[in-house]
């Protein structure tokens, strides 16, 4: 089974949408194999968003992601990366399809409720940033 990293970002976590979002993932047939509530630090953000360092939006991205708790998840399932990204919806909630997580819960393009790995390579890089092998239960 394929795995993906999902982050429920400070906006959705702080607005008490975590349970609704988790239910959407489970109802879609994905298995939660790891989960934790945590505060992202600047160094953790630098690891996770390494490819964005130096871009104009990077400082505001780090400020947002370190501003309040998040929930980190590993989801497992068949073709989970592609399917989770479809369920999440377009980055800009205005452009997101009806019924997607971002259409329902995102505040804006920058406060967009959730993150999900965009490829198997990204998932393989991102999951160990947030979870050790002993924290993932297949």
- E-assigned strands of 60-116? 70-77, 114-116
Nearest CA-CA partner of 74 in 137, 27, 134, 28:
137
pLDDT over 90 (residue 70) = yes
The whole-number pLDDT of residue 138 equals 87
Using the predicted structure, report yes or no on whether residue 22 has a pLDDT greater than 90.
yes
Question: Residues with catalytic annotation?
Answer: 115
Domains contained in the chain, CATH given: 2-135 (3.30.70.141)
Which among 73, 85, 68 has a CA at the least distance from the CA of 28?
85
How does residue 81 score in pLDDT terms, banded at 50, 70 and 90? very high
Strand (E) positions, 60-123? Answer: 70-77, 114-116
Query: DSSP letter at 49?
Result: T
* Element (DSSP H or E) covering residue 50: none
């Amino acid at each position: 089974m394929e795995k993906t990293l999902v982050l429920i970002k400070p906006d959705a976590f702080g607005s008490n949408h975590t349970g609704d979002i988790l239910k959407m993932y489970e109802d879609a047939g994905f298995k939660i194999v790891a989960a934790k509530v945590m505060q992202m630090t600047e160094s953790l953000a630098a690891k996770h968003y390494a490819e964005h360092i130096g871009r104009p939006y990077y400082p505001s991205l780090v400020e947002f992601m370190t501003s309040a708790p998040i929930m980190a998840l590993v989801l497992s399932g068949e073709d989970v990366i592609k399917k989770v990204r479809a369920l999440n919806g377009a980055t800009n909630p205005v452009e997101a399809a009806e019924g997607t997580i971002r259409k329902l819960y995102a505040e804006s393009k920058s406060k967009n409720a959730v993150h999900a790995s965009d490829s198997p390579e990204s998932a393989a890089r991102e999951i160990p940033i947030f979870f050790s092998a002993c924290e993932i239960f297949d």
